[in-house]
Structures are given as structure tokens and as C-alpha cells.
Structure 1
Amino acid sequence: MATTKKSAKTEAATLLILGASGDLASRLLMPGLGGLLTVQPDRRVQLIGAGVETYADAAWKDRVTAAMTKGDAKGPAVTDLLKHTSYLTADVTKAADWKQLLAACDSPPAIYFALPPAITAKACDALVGLLPDGARLALEKPFGTDEKSAHALNEKLATLAPEDHVFRVDHFLGTSGVLNILGTRFANRIIEPLLNNIHVASVEIVFDETLGLEGRARYYDHAGALVDMIQSHLLQTLAVAAMEPPAALEATDVRDLKALALRATKLWGDDPATASRRARYTAGTIDGRKLPSYVDEEGVNPANETETLAELKLEVRNNRWAGVPFTLRSGKGLGTNRHEIVFTFKAPAHVPERIRGSDRPNRLRLDLKTLEMTLELDVNGPGDPYTIDNVSLTAALNPGQLPAYGEVLAGVLEGDPMLAVRGDTAEDCWRLVDPVLKAWKAGRVPLEEYPAGSSGPWD
């Protein structure tokens, strides 16, 4: 669903990846770029990698080739990129090294900070006064560590580039599952008029995984499920699911309406203790695979009391959604993968007498992974026509041509920030999460436990 312009495809662009030797670059960014170039063979990109490590030219090209192969990238645009890509050893916290990097760029670059947040902040300090006109900055989440630091980061970025040249990347916004929300909601008259507090009883946005820690203790044990998944990924998904219909799928319209939805979002009951729950997994078995207790995973400090399952109950206090609970949940080590948005509808105002069995609500499910839409309805059952049967109507939603990072990079290279997180919404996400983190730290919300492979402690 990349909204690309022909001129943007054919004009050569420069992508400068900082932290190019890291996992993010090789596992997601470069395969995503390869997918973009495969779909758009006329596009030309000068790829420059940078990092503190040293790479010979051949070794760097081997690394890029391996990443492209992982994404099954091919075609003339990929061949051209591999021929001309280069790598420079640089310390991006030093202005002199920035000058060397920028001099190597054939055009004002799109600079992707695949770096830890603290290094990104120092790199931005060193970049002051050096960034050429037309350059773009792309930063990976998290955007700060709380609302105050997110605001400080936004102020720093504002000294470097205008807001529409700053791309705060949350790749969830580039996934087919989230992009399909737009078409499903706004192109169907039988769906959009029903998505409001007149008809909807509740909304769930769930991202449950069977995977455990998978060697991510260094990051995850300090973040936890709330910061890792809900703080940006699921709150951004909520904004798309709850926003008003845009006049056009253009950056200004979409980002303005997402911002209005998030600005109206509050913790349920304005109490972070009663609006949140947390838990962590103990030892268990998932599909025959034994998982140790989270606290026994390598690299975990039990004193951190890190949650592996978090749940947040919110309300979008506007005319459309006031009174409807939005539950955001994400966890690891659970018995099933569940990645979906569920709109549960209110019961009919009146069911005629003699009709029996109409006790299950209608639901609209949008699966973010399998890309299926399911509508659960009550119909006449077999045999007795007065007994209701609940049926599910399922349709496959079409995947996009590009992987999530391909969609994201298309926007960055073309200067289209529709799929980027705007500065004010980045702060708003922390506004909702900060009070919860404080309540947890104060011990107001118990850290519950659940066996790995179960559905969690609350179901």
C-alpha cells in the first residue's frame, strides 16, 4: 500500500544507516529495502552503512547481499544498490565524523538511526548545524523513556529538521494488518456507521505470543510488555482503529485524526491501578517445548519485577467512543498466538419472543497476522427455526506487496510521513503509560503469575 510517486521512484535517493552492523539493520531494514526495490525496479538508492566497527568493502557488500537474499530481493534496482553500496567507520557522536558521512552522500540523505536511544540523542547533538536542506531523519522506537524525555527529544529534533522531515518509525503502522484497518473501516458502509458507542460494547487490541524471551533479556528485562508492545505498537493501532474518517489517505489528514483520537484517550476511570494488570510467566510447556520461568531466563534480574504480560484499559472520550472500554493486551509465553482487533457489539434492543439461544454477541475480528476478517453472527439454527445458532463468516484480506519495513522506508525515501509517528502523538503515548509505570513501581498493582503455555492469569 505504499503511496509512491513516480518521480520519487526514479530519482536516486541516499539512505544512510547508522548502526549498520547491528541486528535491526541486517534483520529488518535491509530486507525491507530489498523488498521495496524488488517491487519497484526503477527506484535507485545509494546505500551507505556507518558504525564504529570496521568493514572492508567486500565484507560489507557480502553483509548487504546476505540481508537482501534473506528477503528474496532481486532485480535491477537491487543489483545497482549492491554494486555501489559502501560502508564508513564513524563515531556519530562527533561532528567531524558526521562531516565525513554527509560528504559521501550523493543527495540529501535519509538518515536512519538504528541506534540505542541514548546514542541517538548524542548523535543529534553532534549533527546540529550540519544537516543539509532536504535531509530526513528516521528514528526507531522507543521515542524517549517517558513523556518528559520524549518532549526533550522532540525539541532537539526540531532544531535539526522540520516535523515533516522527521520519521519516528513504528513498523506496526506499515504492516498489512494495520493498513487493512483503513480499507475495512472506511470503504464499507455496513461497517463504518456501526463503529461507535451506540452499537459497540467493547474493543480489544491483543498481541499475545507463544514465544518466550528468546535471548532478548538485555533489552526486554528493562522494558517489559507494557513498554515493548503497548506504549507505541498497540496505542498507534488504537489510534487507527478509533480515528474519524479522513478526507484522503494523506499524511496531514491521517496524522491529524490519529492525534485527535490519542488526545481524547484516557485511562479507564482515570486510575492507573484499576485500569492496568501485569503478570509474568512461570515454567511451562508450549507445543511440546519446555519454557523456564521468566526469572530463570539467562540475563534476567528478578529484582526488576519485569512483566511478560500487560493489560491496559482505556477510554476514547469523544462523541464517537465515550463509554466504550478499549482493552490493550500483550504477552509472551502464552498458549496461543493471538494478534487481533475485536469489536464486540451490544445486544439487540429487542429479540422477538420464541427465539431462543441468542446469547452470544456479534463480533467483528480483524486478525493482524493471518489477515482474515471474521464476522460472528446469529442465524437460524438447523432443525428448529426458532433456535439461534452462532456462525462465523470469514474473508481473507489482501496482503500488501511490501513488508512492513518496505512500506516504512518507501515513506522515508519519498518524504511521505503518513506512516510515521508525529511528535505530539509520541508524547501522548507516554502520557498514558507513565502513570501506570509509576503505579506499578509503587506496588499498587500486583505482579501476578501464569504458567507458560496457559492463557494467562485472568482468562
Structure 2
Amino acid sequence: MAANATPSSRVKTLLILGGTGDLSHRLLLPGLARLIARGRAPGLVVVGSGSRDWSQDEWKQRVRDSFSSEYEAASADARRELDAAVQRSSYLQLDLASPSGLGPDLLELEPPLAVYFALPPKLTLQTVEGLSPRDLPPETLLVLEKPFGSDQASARDLNRRLVSLVPEERIFRVDHFLGMTTVMNIVGMRFSNRLLEPIWNSLHIEKMEIVFDEQLALEGRAKYYDASGALEDMIQSHLLHTMAFMAIGPPASLAERDLRDLVAATLRASSVSGDFSRSTRRARYTAGVIDGKEVEGYADSPGVDPARNTETLAEIEIAIDNDRWAGVPFILRSGKAQARTRKEAVVTFRPVNHLPEGFTGSTTLPSRLRISFNPAYLELELNVNGPADIFRLDRSTLSSKLHTSQLTPYGEVLEAVLEGNRLLSVRGDIAEECWRIVDPVLAAWRSNEVPMGTYAAGTQGPSGWESSRGSL
């Protein structure tokens, strides 16, 4: 059993609200299949729900289809486990437009129960509002997808409603981007190396950049994405949390409270720096070419309302107002339809105080540490004496692979839920802090205080962005 889990918390029934939807089919059920195939979800009963008039056989076929990629690589024993899970699964036709009718169905399910809200944010809120504590079996867990609310006030209201149903320790706000592997790779690297931890501060680090750029364009997500954009979809929802783990002080242990208390304290000290026209940037892609394939401009894509002025590339500079990080910019960036996919943190160290006169070559390049999240590897860029000329400094890179999970990101999320492991659950106050940080930026962007740039699909962003901020 994983750390932070209690024996009584092992979930026996997983109810997926929105089980007939795309999230369940593409991500949740395939992630669960890998757990089952590896014997890490013994006896779990999966119950799907939706408004569609599906028979039990139609639901079982949906589960089997979602498990298909795992069947292909599975051993005979693993296939039997997958088959058994399909046969145990069942379907509930539910109309969540009237969520007050959900209670009797929940009470029929075997506890401990986890209710996974694989729903759009508005429908999640509507469903939560329609529930009461008496509708929930003992030890029920409530599992919610990001985003949690649409601003700090709505996140606070949602949190109040959730804790009126179950205690905070039985609420799982999941962040599939920040899985167990990502967190432990960061924490292990930072706090087990004396080479790094004493210099992990403003005296030695010039800036830190956290990037999630992807080549993918909309890929059919216009309905959701056009109502959020890059700032809400990635930076608010995922990158701020990643930044906090990169910036926390040393925890006493890996217990969830030790880590999450430090994350919360770091975010409370965080804000977007100064004038938003200087500390934030936004843009959206126009028509272009990615890997030889023509991509239409964002504003011309089906389901997009150009009047919304939704950005597909966002960048903000965060200041962390504490002793460790005062004066160090944390630059968070995320974009779609980029020239290449990058999912990494880049730590740029300050230049040496004095370089002996007489060296040539890469004398002005600072040391950098790159932590790639997917694929998981580490690179330390250093200046060393070149092979041809002892007085010339050349760039050299030391690299190492990091731990890679056997599970998918959603598999890691689901395993934590099933075991009652709250380490990766986003605590209520942390969810509110993330909104507090970006709310002023969103307001400034909506009032057009920050201009909207453009970039061709398949490029890294508007002309001038790269040169004005360095290594990104």
C-alpha cells in the first residue's frame, strides 16, 4: 500500500459520472486498464453513468474497447483480469440535469465508493449542488477534474459545497499533469543531492522557466478550450502547481501534509510581477504547417468564437516573495500548435563572479539544468575545456534518465484515489491560491490591457518573444 493511504480507504466501487464521454473513453478507462492488467486494482467494480439509453452490453463493450490497447500487450493472466473487470462493470442511466435523483442510485453501490466527476465544470457544480450528505454511502470519495471553478470566488464556493458533503480528506481534486512520477522525480533530485540543494536559491539561480508547449492544435476540443485558453487550461491548472514543487523548501518527510503545506505556503507568497503589459504575454496561432500538415488558423476553426479573443499561447512571470526566491523570475509558458513539443523546467544559474581572463568560446553561457517531464530525463549544461584548444570553453551536457512510470498519468491518478493516497490531491486552499494568482491577469486580458499577438502554426511564437526573454 502506498504512503499516506489507510487500510480502510481501499475503494471497492468506482462510479464514473460522464462514463459515456470522451474523457472516460480516451483517458480514464485506458488508465484503469493498465492498473488492472498489473494487478493493482483487485476486485474493483467500475460503474459508468450517462444520459444515453445504453444497455449493460453496450456499456461493457465500451469498457472493452477502452481496454483494447492494454489487451494487445497483456499476458494471459492479465487478460483474464481485464475480462473479469469488464464483466463486473455495469451502467447507470442518469439525468444529471436533475442530480437530486442521484442519491438512491449511489446508496445501492458497494462502499467504499469513489465518485469521479468526468464532467464539464458547470455540470460538475450543478451535480454537487444537487447532492446532500445523506445521499453518499459511508467513506465515499469525491473526485473532481480541473479546473476547480472559474475564478477564486467560484473555487471557494465549490470548496464550501464539497466540504458540506464529505470532509476535506475525502475530496480528491486531481491534476493528471502532476503525477506521482513527476513529483517524486523533482523532490528526489532536489533534496538528495548536496550539489543542488545549497544553491537552490536566489543567490545562485538567475531564473526558472516551466514550459508546456505542444505541437497539437485544437484536436476537436474547441468547445472547452475556447472558453478557457492557455492561461486557464495549463498555467492556472497545472504549471503553477509544478512551479511550487520546484520552489518549495525541504520537507520533513514525503507525507502529504508535509509536502502540501509547503506547496500552499509557496503559492501564498506568489504573484504575477508588476505591470501586466511587461510581465504577461498572449498570442494565438494563425494558419501554418506542422510536420508537413497544413493547420487552419485558430479563429477559423469549427466551434471557435473569434470574438472571445482566446489565446493559444500564454506566458506569465511570477515573483515568489520569500527569502529563498526574492528577485528570481519564474516564467511559466504554455502554447498550442508549436514548432516542437516541450514539457520541461529550465533552471538557469547565475554567471560566475569572475572568469579568469584568457578563456574564449562559451564564456558568457550560464550553467543550466533541464528537467524534462515527458520523456523523463535530466540534463546539466556546463562549460568545459574543449578538446582542440585548452583555452577554449565548449558546451558539454551531462544527462540521465529519470524514473518513468509503468502507468499512464490517469493511471497514477486513479491508483492514488483507489488507495486513498492524498499526496497528489490538490487541497482546497491550494486550488483557490492558483486562481488568486491568475485572476488579475485574466481581468487585464479581458479588458485588452495586454495586446494579443499572433504566430503561424508550427512556429515558436510571435517574432521577438524568444530574444526578449532568453533561453525559452
TM tier relative to shorter chain: over 0.9
Q: Choose 159-168 or 43-52, whichever is displaced more.
A: 43-52
Preserved CA contact (<8 Å) 1:276 1:313: yes
What is the aligned counterpart of 2:187 among 168, 174, 182? 182
Distance 1:70 1:91 in 2: 31
- In the alignment, structure 1 residue 85 sits paired with structure 2 residue 89: yes
Cα deviations by residue, 1:205-259 (Å, 9 ceiling, x for unpaired): 0011111111211111111111111111111111111111212212111111111
Q: By how many angstroms is 1:355 displaced? A: 2.2
- In the alignment, structure 1 residue 231 sits paired with structure 2 residue 230: no
- In the alignment, structure 1 residue 386 sits paired with structure 2 residue 391: yes
Counterpart in 1 of 2:448? 443
Preserved CA contact (<8 Å) 2:60 2:90: yes
What is the aligned counterpart of 2:340 among 336, 357, 362? 336
Counterpart in 1 of 2:320? 316
Counterpart in 2 of 1:28? 27
Distance 2:321 2:138 in 1: 40
Local SS of the residue matching 1:112: strand
Preserved CA contact (<8 Å) 1:17 1:113: yes
Decide whether aligned partners of structure 1 residues 135 and 42 sit closer, same or farther in structure 2, where only a CA change above 3 A counts. closer
Preserved CA contact (<8 Å) 1:313 1:328: yes
Decide whether aligned partners of structure 1 residues 161 and 6 sit closer, same or farther in structure 2, where only a CA change above 3 A counts. closer
What is the aligned counterpart of 1:100 among 100, 104, 112? 104
Counterpart in 2 of 1:18? 17
Counterpart in 1 of 2:67? 68
Equivalence map 1:10-409=2 (5 Å): 13-41=12-40, 43-72=42-71, 74-75=78-79, 77-94=81-98, 97-129=101-133, 130-174=135-179, 176-269=181-274, 271-357=275-361, 358-409=363-414
Distance 1:310 1:2 in 2: 36
Amino acid at match of 1:65: R
Amino acid at match of 2:408: P
Q: By how many angstroms is 1:132 displaced? A: 2.5
Preserved CA contact (<8 Å) 2:111 2:137: no
Distance 1:222 1:49 in 2: 27
Decide whether aligned partners of structure 1 residues 195 and 176 sit closer, same or farther in structure 2, where only a CA change above 3 A counts. same
Preserved CA contact (<8 Å) 1:42 1:76: no
Local SS of the residue matching 1:432: helix
Distance 2:223 2:183 in 1: 29
Amino acid at match of 2:121: P
Q: By how many angstroms is 1:356 displaced? A: 2.5
Cα deviations by residue, 1:33-79 (Å, 9 ceiling, x for unpaired): 11222223562211111111122111111111111223446355433
Cα deviations by residue, 1:305-333 (Å, 9 ceiling, x for unpaired): 11110001001111111110000000111
- The alignment's TM-score, normalised by the length of structure 2, stands at 0.93
Amino acid at match of 1:301: D
Local SS of the residue matching 1:124: helix
Decide whether aligned partners of structure 1 residues 192 and 180 sit closer, same or farther in structure 2, where only a CA change above 3 A counts. same
Decide whether aligned partners of structure 1 residues 148 and 42 sit closer, same or farther in structure 2, where only a CA change above 3 A counts. closer
Distance 1:369 1:17 in 2: 27
Preserved CA contact (<8 Å) 2:207 2:347: yes
Amino acid at match of 1:39: R
Distance 1:143 1:255 in 2: 17
Q: Choose 77-86 or 281-290, whichever is displaced more.
A: 77-86
Distance 1:108 1:267 in 2: 42
Distance 2:18 2:421 in 1: 23
What is the aligned counterpart of 2:433 among 425, 428, 431? 428
Distance 1:400 1:4 in 2: 19
CA RMSD of aligned residues (A): 1.9
Structure 2 runs not aligned, ≥5 long: 467-472
Local SS of the residue matching 1:202: strand
Preserved CA contact (<8 Å) 1:12 1:46: no
Decide whether aligned partners of structure 1 residues 175 and 60 sit closer, same or farther in structure 2, where only a CA change above 3 A counts. same
Distance 2:11 2:435 in 1: 37
Preserved CA contact (<8 Å) 2:11 2:418: no
Preserved CA contact (<8 Å) 1:37 1:75: no
Local SS of the residue matching 1:78: helix
Distance 1:213 1:337 in 2: 15
Distance 1:240 1:234 in 2: 10
Distance 1:173 1:196 in 2: 23
Local SS of the residue matching 1:253: helix
Local SS of the residue matching 1:307: coil
Local SS of the residue matching 1:48: strand
Decide whether aligned partners of structure 1 residues 175 and 247 sit closer, same or farther in structure 2, where only a CA change above 3 A counts. closer
Preserved CA contact (<8 Å) 2:4 2:422: no
Q: By how many angstroms is 1:2 displaced? A: 5.7
Distance 1:367 1:415 in 2: 28
How many equivalent residue pairs? Answer: 457
Distance 2:191 2:36 in 1: 30
- In the alignment, structure 1 residue 416 sits paired with structure 2 residue 421: yes
Amino acid at match of 1:53: R
Distance 1:169 1:176 in 2: 14
Distance 2:100 2:5 in 1: 35
Distance 2:113 2:239 in 1: 30
Preserved CA contact (<8 Å) 2:11 2:113: no
Distance 2:11 2:341 in 1: 41
Q: By how many angstroms is 1:27 displaced? A: 0.9
Structure 1 residue ranges (4+ consecutive) displaced by more than 6 angstroms after TM superposition: none
Amino acid at match of 1:50: S
Q: By how many angstroms is 1:268 displaced? A: 1.3
